Amino acid sequence: MSADLSRDYFGIEVPFMAFLGLVPETLENDFCRTRLPARADLTNSRGQLHGGTLMSVLDFTLSAAARGHSPLTVGVATIEMSTHFMDAAEGDVVIEARCLRRGRSIAFCEGTVLSAKTGTPLVVGRASMKLLQRHNKPAQKSAS
All domains in the chain, ordered by first residue: 15-133 (3.10.129.10)
In sign, the C-alpha dihedral spanning 131, 85, 93, 5 is positive
For range 126-131, the mean pLDDT: 98
Residue 90 has pLDDT above 50, yes or no: yes
* Planar angle of CA 61, 63, 67, nearest 5 degrees: 115
- Cα–Cα nearest to 105, from 132, 128, 78: 132
State the pTM of this model.
Answer: 0.89
Q: What is the pLDDT of residue 135?
A: 73
pLDDT tier at 137 (50, 70, 90 boundaries)? Answer: low
Q: What is the mean pLDDT of residues 61-85?
A: 96
Q: Is pLDDT of 26 > 60?
A: yes
The answer for 104, left when phi > 0, alpha when psi is -120 to 50, beta otherwise, is alpha
The per-residue pLDDT for 142 is: 43
Longest dimension (CA), the chain: 45
* Pick from 73-87, 102-116, 123-137: least confident: 123-137
> 111 with 95: CB under 8 angstroms?
yes
**pLDDT number for residue 2:** 42
Q: Using the 8-state DSSP alphabet, how is residue 21 labeled?
A: T
- pLDDT the model gives residue 144: 41
